[in-house]
Structure 1
Amino acid sequence: MGRKLFCELSPLTYEISRQKCILLRHITNFASKDKFAKAKSISPLPHKIYSHSSFMRRKLGSVDMALQENKVHNLSLAVPLVNGVLIYPGEIFSFWNLVGNTTKAKGYKTGLAIKMGSPSQDVGGGMCQFTNLIHWMVLHTPLNVVERHQHDQLDLFPDCKRNVPFGLGTSIVYNYFDYRFQNNTTATYQIFIYQTEEFLCGEIRSNQSQSYQYQIYTQDEFFSKEEDGVYRKGNVFREKLDTASKVCIEKILLQKNHAKVAYDTSSLKIDE
């Protein structure tokens, strides 16, 4: 076993490391010449580009459902801070720049979080569902993702009401693990987010129509037995289609999954 990192020695050293990372990101943001999106409008731009919704309460293995209820509450605090944001040409959308720190003092509760590759809990937990939704919508546009983190290629929970290919999730930690994309087009984009009783819903709009549409899917997905456990494998592709003719203009590999399964695999079909 290798030597532990400083942040792994104790809760105190973990917090010291976390605060150092937060400070460094603040300094980087202050020194940056990037222009972050912050203007908002309740008036929708004329062209709806893509919309999506995701269940807020899903059975995730043995995770306490109370953490899911707290997540729903946490989302209700964060949604108004992003809803209606306009991303003008050249601007960067930064999730944490808009939402800020999700602290107990602001009313956030303890929700589900992922720490050191395992399910955990933390005040403000559940924000990754927010950025997952935004990322999925952004993938249906020409907007350029400039910062995205993942959960270390781990398959943490069995599929439950999944309607997005595995592996396209996001991992965020205030403020040094951010989710960011840049608008390198000549159009202005806008994000609307709202909640219903069951769903977190999103819509991305623009002041210009898109000449292209995007299809995202998984090919060759399967579970396989390896020396140290079961792995989920598969390739996630994105096709760029001409809006008028539906002809594929470009096909790219978005992600190659090789994720270790962290839950009971007895119900899975596994290739030996």
Structure 2
Amino acid sequence: MNTVRVSLKPIRRSKLRLFAGKRYFICKRYWQWLTRPGRQARTRSQENLPHSAMAHATPLLRSLRNVDMQMQINKITNLRLAIAKLDGLILRSGEAFSYWRNIGKPTRRKGYLDGMVLHYGGFHSGVGGGLCQLSNLIYWMTLHTPLTITERHRHSYDVFPDEQRTQPFGSGATCSYNYLDLQLRNPTEHSYQLRLWLDDTHLHGEWRCSGQQLYSYEVYESDHRISLEPWGGYIRSNQISRRVFTMSGELAMDEEVTGNYALMMYSPLLQG
């Protein structure tokens, strides 16, 4: 596939416009929840479904340039609170999953702390910061199942170099309450269960299933490019695809998942 070139030249907007725009989309999402509830996954169980469909783990702490480590330490508390709302969730046949409808709004009253929030190519401290690590994990695991991703938002900025990156660029899902959501649907005849937990060093996740999966999945990137734009910035792009294999190892399908485009906020020659 040929990557379509897009212009990501930053557009400067006033603080008032940014605030008003965010409030508009938040209210629009609340209205959608009221008028289009759908069949939402609500049941949780601490008894594991019998089959493991996909498991993955990501490190809790990374050494990031100019980032106060306390924000990452606070992130662990935020992750623990969000996990308490999601762990054990059962996604039955025909049901939908919404990241934010299940977690709710992160607030200080609920115990959420200030963590790192990415914002228009930079970062700042914000209540509930760091929950993108959890949405990234769920999205990555879901790509290795037959569950359908009905809403996912890519990161528009590539803020940090690839130090300790173990997944392809653009294979995550950014989140912001409540208008940047991660939503899934279960089109299969089986039930899926989301298990999440923390240990001393990693965030762990697993999709479990009531029946054995008929396929395995390999997610990969292609057409990875870094281009210097006429206005002086660098754009990073790629294509995320996946190969679907039968249990006997035969290739059943090779399908495109999504294209990614992000404005790089560091020099492409910068290491670490």
TM, length-normalised to structure 1: 0.89
Structure 1 stretch displaced more, 181-190 or 160-169: 160-169
Cα distance 1:190–1:112, how it changes in 2: closer, same or farther (>3 A)?
Answer: same
Matches within 5 A, 1:5-84: 8-10=14-16, 14-84=18-88
| Residue in structure 2 matched with residue 95 of structure 1 by the alignment | 99
Q: Distance in 1 between matches of 2:217 and 2:120?
A: 34
1:188 aligned onto 2:191:
yes
Q: Give the drift of 1:15.
A: 4.2
Q: Given that residues 172 and 179 in structure 1 are in contact (C-alpha distance below 8 angstroms), is that contact kept between their aligned partners in structure 2?
A: yes
1:166 aligned onto 2:169:
yes
Q: Given that residues 48 and 208 in structure 2 are in contact (C-alpha distance below 8 angstroms), is that contact kept between their aligned partners in structure 1?
A: yes
Q: Distance in 2 between matches of 1:61 and 1:4?
A: 25
Structure 1 stretch displaced more, 140-149 or 247-256: 247-256
1:213 aligned onto 2:199:
no
Structure 2 gap segments, 5+ residues each: 1-8
Cα distance 1:256–1:30, how it changes in 2: closer, same or farther (>3 A)?
Answer: closer
Tell me the SS of whatever aligns to 1:44. Answer: coil
Cα distance 1:24–1:71, how it changes in 2: closer, same or farther (>3 A)?
Answer: same
Q: Give the drift of 1:246.
A: 0.9
| Residue in structure 2 matched with residue 133 of structure 1 by the alignment | 137
Q: Distance in 1 between matches of 2:143 and 2:10?
A: 38
| Residues matched between the structures, number | 262
| Residue in structure 2 matched with residue 248 of structure 1 by the alignment | 251
Q: Distance in 1 between matches of 2:24 and 2:261?
A: 32
1:239 aligned onto 2:243:
yes
Cα distance 1:246–1:98, how it changes in 2: closer, same or farther (>3 A)?
Answer: same
Q: Given that residues 57 and 202 in structure 2 are in contact (C-alpha distance below 8 angstroms), is that contact kept between their aligned partners in structure 1?
A: yes
Q: Give the drift of 1:209.
A: 0.7
Question: Quick one: which of 178, 194, 202 aligns to 1:199?
Answer: 202
Q: Give the drift of 1:22.
A: 2.4
Q: Give the drift of 1:19.
A: 3.5
Deviations 1:60-95 (A, max 9, x none): 332221111111111111111100000011111111
Deviations 1:179-213 (A, max 9, x none): 11001111100000000111000010000111111
Question: Quick one: which of 112, 123, 131 aligns to 2:127?
Answer: 123
Q: Given that residues 155 and 262 in structure 2 are in contact (C-alpha distance below 8 angstroms), is that contact kept between their aligned partners in structure 1?
A: no
Q: Give the drift of 1:16.
A: 4.5
Cα distance 1:27–1:224, how it changes in 2: closer, same or farther (>3 A)?
Answer: closer
1:107 aligned onto 2:116:
no
Identity %: 34
Q: Distance in 2 between matches of 1:200 and 1:36?
A: 25
Q: Distance in 2 between matches of 1:131 and 1:3?
A: 27
Q: Given that residues 154 and 260 in structure 2 are in contact (C-alpha distance below 8 angstroms), is that contact kept between their aligned partners in structure 1?
A: no
1:144 aligned onto 2:163:
no
Structure 1 gap segments, 5+ residues each: none
User: 2:114 is matched by which residue type in structure 1?
Assistant: T
Cα distance 1:3–1:211, how it changes in 2: closer, same or farther (>3 A)?
Answer: closer
1:175 aligned onto 2:175:
no
TM, length-normalised to structure 2: 0.89
Cα distance 1:233–1:26, how it changes in 2: closer, same or farther (>3 A)?
Answer: closer
Q: Given that residues 96 and 175 in structure 1 are in contact (C-alpha distance below 8 angstroms), is that contact kept between their aligned partners in structure 2?
A: yes
Tell me the SS of whatever aligns to 2:241. Answer: strand
